[in-house]
Amino acid sequence: MSTLKEAPPALEVRGLRTQFPGRQGLVRAVDGVSFAIRRGEILGLVGESGSGKSVTGFSILGLVEPPGKVVAGEVLLAGRRISGLDGAAMRRIRGAEVAMVFQDPLMTLNPVLRIGTQMAAAVRAHDRVSRAAAWDRAEQALTTVGIPSPRARLDAYPHQLSGGMRQRVAIATALLHRPKAIIADEPTTALDVSIQGQILAEVRRLADETGTAFLWITHDLAVVSSLADALCVMYAGRVVERGPADAVIAAPRHPYTVALVGSVPSGHAPGARLPQLAAGLPPRGADGAPDSGCPFRTRCPRATEVCAAPPPERDFGAGHTALCHHPVEAAA
Amino acid sequence: MSGAIAEGWREYRRSPVAVVALLVVLAIVALALLAPWIAPQDPYDQAGLDLFDARLPPGEVGSGGYVHWLGTDNAGRDLLSAILYGLRLSLMISVSAGTVALVLGTAIGLSAAYYGGWFGALAMRVVDLQLSLPAILLALVLVAMLGQGVPQLMAALVAAQYAYFARTAYGAASAERRKDYIEAALSTPLSGRRVLLRHLLPNTLPPLIVVVTVQIATAISLEATLSFLGLGLPITRPSLGLLISNGFQFLLSGRYWISVYPGITLMVTVLAINLVGDQLRQVLNPKHRR
Amino acid sequence: MSELLRIERASKRFRQPVPLGDRLAAWLGRPRPPRAVQAVTDVSLTVARGEVVGLVGESGCGKSTLGRMVAGIYTPSEGAVLFEGAPVMPGGHKRSPRVQMIHQDPFASLDPRMKVGETVAEGPVAHGIVSRAGADALVAETLRRVGLDPALRNRYPHQFSGGQRQRVAIARALALNPALLVLDEPVASLDVSIQAQVLNLFMDLREAAAGGSGLTSLFISHDLGVVRHVSDRVAIMYLGRIVELAPTRTLYAAPAHPYTRALLDSVPRLGQGRGVFHPIAGELPSPLAPPPGCHFHPRCPHAGPRCRVEAPALLPVAPGQSAACHLHHGGTAAAATA
């Protein structure tokens, strides 16, 4: 029991910072992000466009394109540091110990090669096995993600599969080497609801059964509220609120999370006006980079002068915290 | 729009080579435009030529009492003057031919993309067929049929070049045609002519501007090639190609300058225009933007 | 309520372009039947003045094609689309601008090389609704109506955010004083907080118009939550057919068609609890080769032998509510009953 408790998280990120040079100075796309995901846990990383959620995923895998640069922070995979490794060492880990799934699987699938050929190549990239054994492994992986008649799918070309099927293939490919963690960037955003439901159910089962940790990056609160164990809400490169998924959705504390949850129409009477946020950009300091105050204060209905100072981390128990000077009280 | 131009210039400036090339092109155009005022001699004035001045090497003083900095040709023309006038003629022909080809080709390509159907298919098959033939071959045949002279040469150049514009315009317009803003304009509804001219055309222009620069350079070379082969302009109005051709027979007898200086001018002109075109492609292609 | 739009048994087929290889094969004596996508099949729907009808379905269900037939972009292959009793005639620009469409992606639906003021003014001037001189006042007023500063009229679309662009697109439509708006996924490409702004704007406009001109709308979306929020009635489409049509409240409270029920169940909702999924089994069939009979039968838990051969008609099941399902009309067992 105690060994289990002491086991390091499957994926841990500490103080990650990624910067891009911009026209008006440095853009801190990821500005000190930290989180940990245990074995079999699904962490939802939620934010709107430009919040830095996708860059976080790329930064973990060392896939940030120049002129962007990871300038600080540590990434630990089952306790082993993988940030700062050279290209070759990172390639050995990527796809084997940590894998990625994208919104559009066509981006990662080669249109002129059969699914089986590509999956077998992915197997043989890390394991020295025969071609036949690699195809068998690919077939097993397709079965694992609930694809009917997997042998026939292996013989198909990517364009012959539906969007949902391609995304399952992408997840199966990510699972080939039993990675410790999978980073999934908006993997169901392009799918129809009925297909999305199938994939979410499949991913939940896979996490529970294989112990793979998932970082599920999305803009869709409803999706993560049914899928994820824990949530991190990102705004302007920072995690502004985190905690168990049910707690964050049921009783959001950061005004930004409150606004996000509040702007989903299904929570309101039909025809009622939805609460809406004012527009505004994060305040910038003299050097063009964001200042150390709360980045949300330009749009926040609760903001006061004190918000120009770095926001404190408030603890609401059970791991539920928010970076805010004026957190919202829990509803009775 | 001025903002877009300023941004485009910032992007263009990134390449020092392209900036130099642009300055060279501007200088060449200025020299060509000002030729009648800065050239020491009018090379088209047959009466002003003196055969005693023929083939003087660079730096000699001729019967006119001034220095022939680049020497003279076999008819006694001051080469510097001949090059300036030849440049003027070459640019005039290629720019006008390029403009006509641009208008004609764009009209064909745009309407083929917009109206589609059998008209579009037929028009583009003709264009494709023509693109499969070398432009020089087409121009040669046309000049042989039409005869010599500036209008004939221009007609041949237009016929040889419009297809490039048509192909580019068709490609760009077909891509734009499928975008929502065209559908929005059509569903408003706005007239087809308005959608074509006010929406489709302006959004098709950027790639065409690149083709214009490259095609003008090609037209200069084509014209020079035709003239070199003796099919271009009459001997009394030498363009760059004709000057090179005239000096060719003296090249081995040590009188290099008659061919080499017009040749260098031609090369620098074509190279500079192409460099400008290349950089314009970078500036106008959003994929290259950061 | 008087009827504004009537869709009468409209169908739309698209011919697939024949690949060169197939054409060669046909030449060599192996003719293939021409392929066609049946995008919309036999759809009938009426929209009353002032009403908002939501059109919901997954990809390939034909909701966008139906919207484009209403907006006059496509001609129905069969049937008719009647606006104020007269057919919507596509093609000619003499057509009335009283049906306006708003597209999903405001980054694609605005001409990138035209100032937004010109974009808004273009239609009204072309249709003689205002003179060129009077256009300025109309542009200013319309931009104000959608919550934009009229001073922004001289900017280009790339200088706006996604939400602002969608406002410009709405202004372009409103400037023509339309009687019917076709909104094709108007908030699908916007961030959640921006989506709320645009939905609020839509509801404000609707209320402002309720007394006067009446802003009747066809609201196309894949998002059941959004449609529930803004619509009076909802039509659910599956592979080209309307399978259920009902007042919003009825449809969400007591869905009659198994597909509607399954769709409502499979939508993740805030606070529904973790790990609770009710996905619909099976794949979405390709519209190129829809299943025979009821298109939904391969995925339907209640399907019987009759469903495999006979396509159910859209018939009333309750006041105001219709469903196309044999369960409600004679059962699924026998193939010959009717």
Q: Distance (Å, rounded) from C-alpha A257 to C-alpha A234?
A: 9
Subunits adjacent to chain C (3 or more Cβ pairs under 8 Å): A, B
Give B282 or C111, the one with higher predicted confidence. Answer: C111
Q: What is the pLDDT of residue C235?
A: 97
* Beta carbons of B97 and B150 less than 8 angstroms apart: no
User: What 3-state DSSP class applies to B229?
Assistant: coil
> pLDDT tens digits for A258-282?
999 988 888 888 888 998 887 777 7
Residues 6+ apart with CB under 8 A from B18: B12, B275, B276, B278, B279
Tell me: do A251 and A301 sit in the same domain.
yes
| Joined tokens for residue B116 | 């589609």
Give me the percent of chain B exceeding a pLDDT of 90: 33
Tell me which residue of B83, B34, B21, B70 sits closest to B217, measured CA to CA.
Answer: B21
- Is pLDDT of C167 > 90? yes
Residue C191, phi then psi, degrees to nearest 5? -65, 155
Residues β-bridged to residue B91: none
Which residue in the set B4, B180, B189 is minimally distant from C105, CB to CB? B180
In Å, how far are A172, A234, A240, C51, C55 from C103, measured between CA atoms? 35, 29, 34, 20, 14
Give A298 or A331, the one with higher predicted confidence. Answer: A298
Domain membership flag for residue A43:
yes
Which residue in the set C68, C97, C169 is minimally distant from B189, CB to CB? C97
> pLDDT tens digits for C32-59?
666 678 899 999 999 999 999 999 998 8
Subunits adjacent to chain B (3 or more Cβ pairs under 8 Å): C
Domain membership flag for residue A102:
no
> pLDDT tens digits for C241-285?
999 999 999 999 999 999 999 999 888 888 777 777 777 888 888
- CA trace torsion A99, A102, A107, A109 (10° rounding): 50
- The model's confidence at residue A245, banded by pLDDT at 50, 70 and 90, is very high
Tell me: do A82 and A219 sit in the same domain.
yes
Instruction: Report all structural domains of chain B as residue ranges with CATH numbers, in order of start.
Output: 2-43+59-288 (1.10.3720.10)
* Beta carbons of C234 and C51 less than 8 angstroms apart: no
- Is pLDDT of A322 > 50? yes
C248 contact A CB<8A: yes
- Is pLDDT of B275 > 60? yes
* Beta carbons of A206 and A35 less than 8 angstroms apart: no
- The model's confidence at residue B40, banded by pLDDT at 50, 70 and 90, is confident
> pLDDT tens digits for A118-129?
999 999 988 889
Tell me: do A301 and A189 sit in the same domain.
yes
Tell me: do A208 and A305 sit in the same domain.
yes
Q: H or E element: which one contains C49?
A: none
Q: Distance (Å, rounded) from C-alpha B43 to C-alpha B35?
A: 11
Mean pLDDT across B24-34: 93
Tell me: do A134 and A246 sit in the same domain.
no
Q: H or E element: which one contains A281?
A: none
A268 contact C CB<8A: yes
- Is pLDDT of A73 > 70? yes
Residues of C in contact with B202 (CB under 8 A): 111, 113-114
Which of these three, A146, A176, A206, is where a domain ends?
A176
Q: Are strands C321-323 and C315-318 parallel, antiparallel or unpaired?
A: antiparallel
Q: What is the pLDDT of residue C23?
A: 66
> pLDDT tens digits for B232-266?
777 777 788 888 887 777 877 778 888 888 889 98
Q: Distance (Å, rounded) from C-alpha A239 to C-alpha A119?
A: 35
Q: What is the pLDDT of residue A317?
A: 87
Which of these three, A176, A191, A211, is where a domain ends?
A176
Hey, which bits of chain C come out as E strands? 3-15, 36-48, 52-56, 78-83, 86-87, 99-102, 180-184, 216-221, 233-238, 241-247, 315-318, 321-323
Q: What is the pLDDT of residue C247?
A: 97
Residue type, B25: V
Q: What is the DSSP string of B24-51?
A: HHHHHHHHHHHHHHH-SS-TT-GGG--G
Residues β-bridged to residue A20: A27
Give B15 or C92, the one with higher predicted confidence. Answer: B15
Q: What is the pLDDT of residue A11?
A: 95
Ranges of each domain in chain C:
107-177
Between chain B and chain C, how many beta carbons pairs sit less than 8 Å apart?
A: 61
In Å, how far are A133, B174, C56, C114, C169 from B203, measured between CA atoms? 53, 11, 34, 10, 19
Chain B's closest residue to C104, CA to CA, is B180
Domain membership flag for residue A331:
no
Judge: C103–B183 Cβ closer than 8 Å, yes or no: yes
Q: Provide the number of structural domains found in chain A.
A: 2
Q: Distance (Å, rounded) from C-alpha B41 to C-alpha B35?
A: 10
> pLDDT tens digits for B142-194?
888 888 888 888 898 999 899 999 999 999 999 999 999 999 998 888 988 99
- Is pLDDT of C212 > 70? no
Chain A's closest residue to C204, CA to CA, is A273
Q: What is the pLDDT of residue A1?
A: 43
Residue A161, phi then psi, degrees to nearest 5? -100, 155
Q: What is the pLDDT of residue C337?
A: 44
Q: Distance (Å, rounded) from C-alpha C111 to C-alpha B270?
A: 35
- Is pLDDT of A218 > 80? yes
Tell me: do A203 and A231 sit in the same domain.
yes
Note down the domain range covering A135: 109-176
Which of these three, A161, A176, A191, is where a domain ends?
A176
Tell me which residue of C172, C179, C174 sits closest to C213, measured CA to CA.
Answer: C179
> pLDDT tens digits for B136-148?
888 888 888 888 8
| Joined tokens for residue A144 | 């694992």
Tell me: do A225 and A312 sit in the same domain.
yes
Q: How distant is the alpha carbon of residue A62 from its chain centre?
A: 15
Q: What is the pTM of this model?
A: 0.85
Residues of A in contact with C200 (CB under 8 A): 273-274, 276
